[in-house]
């Protein structure tokens, strides 16, 4: 992919992946976040395309496990890119493929596909079950360190017709009662819930946090220390934060 086109694409995602018909204003990122995000974007452009072999090497050296299916898909994608002279989305695609899990649209269930990576699209297929699925995703990568129980969602203040109002999300994290008042945006998850989860982790004295990097119109999440998050960011040039800054 041409560098200018890639830059415009990423900027478009940063500014305008907010859900339609209102909802959160994603154009109001804080300055520190935006400056660092743009700095990494410039470094990505200077770096240029990263081969599938190099991406595999970097991710495995970081301790991440990629399935044979993901690796095969990476090589196929690289082949298509070379044929079309179009490159981009380094690291995002393999991590998204590895961590998206499997949805059962008939039974409204989700099964994790990785114990290290949770990737999701913020536009969920199950409106009334999306927070349960999201918290299940976080638990699936906590390596048995965390348990989310007693998850309830109250949609009585949600406006299904105009996509407004709030959803009262309650759960217990390792026995600690937590509560998050989510903005209701139809089938879009309020990703600010990660801030509340990390706040609860701090109160529990847990060292690790849920860090995330971009994933099209969602996030790729890791349960890790700040030291590992900085190593990941330095190696991949993918922005990592334990806060939802937009």
| The pLDDT value given to residue 11 | 45
DSSP 188: B
C-alpha to C-alpha distance for 206 and 74, rounded to whole angstroms: 35
> Which pTM does this prediction carry?
0.86
* Residue pair 178/196 in contact by the 8 Å Cβ criterion: yes
DSSP 63: T
| The pLDDT value given to residue 216 | 79
| The pLDDT value given to residue 15 | 42
* Residue pair 124/130 in contact by the 8 Å Cβ criterion: yes
The residues of the chain scoring below 70 in pLDDT are: 1-29, 87-88, 246
7 vs 11, 42, 48, 80, CA distance in Å?
6, 8, 12, 21
């Amino acid at each position: 992919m041409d560098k200018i086109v890639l830059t415009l694409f990423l900027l478009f995602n940063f500014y305008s992946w907010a859900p339609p018909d209102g909802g959160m204003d994603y154009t109001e990122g804080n300055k520190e976040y935006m400056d660092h995000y743009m700095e990494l974007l410039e470094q990505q452009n200077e770096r240029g395309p990263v081969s599938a072999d190099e991406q595999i090497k970097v991710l495995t050296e970081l301790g991440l496990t990629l399935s044979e299916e993901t690796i095969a898909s990476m090589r196929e994608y690289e082949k298509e890119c070379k044929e079309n002279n179009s490159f981009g989305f380094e690291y995002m695609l393999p991590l998204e493929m590895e961590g998206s899990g499997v949805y059962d649209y008939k039974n409204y269930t989700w099964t994790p596909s990785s114990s290290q990576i949770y990737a999701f699209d913020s536009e969920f297929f199950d409106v009334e079950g999306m927070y349960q699925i999201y918290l299940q995703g976080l638990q699936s990568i906590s390596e048995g360190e965390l348990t989310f129980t007693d998850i309830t969602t109250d949609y009585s203040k949600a406006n299904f017709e105009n996509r407004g109002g709030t959803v009262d999300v309650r759960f217990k994290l390792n026995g600690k009662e937590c509560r998050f008042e989510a903005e209701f945006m139809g089938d879009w998850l309020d990703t600010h819930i990660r801030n509340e989860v990390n706040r609860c982790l701090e109160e529990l004295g847990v060292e690790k946090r849920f860090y995330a990097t971009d994933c099209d119109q969602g996030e790729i999440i890791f349960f890790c220390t700040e030291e590992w998050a900085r190593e990941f960011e330095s190696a991949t040039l993918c922005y990592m934060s334990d806060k939802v800054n937009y």
